[in-house]
Amino acid sequence: MEWWEVYLFTRLDDIIAALSCAFTISAFFLIAVLIVITACYFEEEKDDIKKSALKSSKPIGSLVIVLGFALVAIPNQKEMAAIYIIPKVTHNQQIQTILKTGGDLVEAKFKQWYEETLPANRGE
């Protein structure tokens, strides 16, 4: 990993917190604009308010969608560690050897235990 990757890795939770704040603020602003549009819907003399509210709701709605997607797509530190470490562990030859040896040892011990307890299970 390069130094900037390590830096970004350590800042993932802060990035997610900043995006959450921006998402919350823009969502509340979008809701306020939609309330203004709904309140002015039946009053014909407030067409200019409706037009300006509709004009501002499109970029805010797009921002809410983009921020919501970014919040879902960006992993936190634990998920990023798993994404980075699990492939390295699974493709490491030394760990594969340890797992095979450990598995063989557990299998041998299980067979030994099974053979020792087999006569006791039959009632002999």
The phi, psi pair for 74, rounded to 5°, reads -85, 125
What share of the chain has pLDDT > 70, as a percent?
Answer: 90
Same domain, 30 and 48: yes
Contact 70, 22 (CB under 8 A): no
* pTM greater than the 0.85 cutoff: no
Residue with the two structure tokens 């235990």? 113
DSSP states of 27-39 = HHHHHHHHHHHHH
Top pLDDT among 4 and 65 is at: 65
Please check whether residues 69 and 96 belong to one and the same domain.
Answer: no
**Does one domain contain both 59 and 8?**
yes
pLDDT given for residue 4 in this prediction: 74
User: Is residue 122 included in any domain, yes or no?
Assistant: yes
Q: Is 87 inside a domain boundary?
A: no
- 41-86 per-position pLDDT tens digit: 666 666 777 777 778 888 888 888 998 898 888 888 888 888 888 8
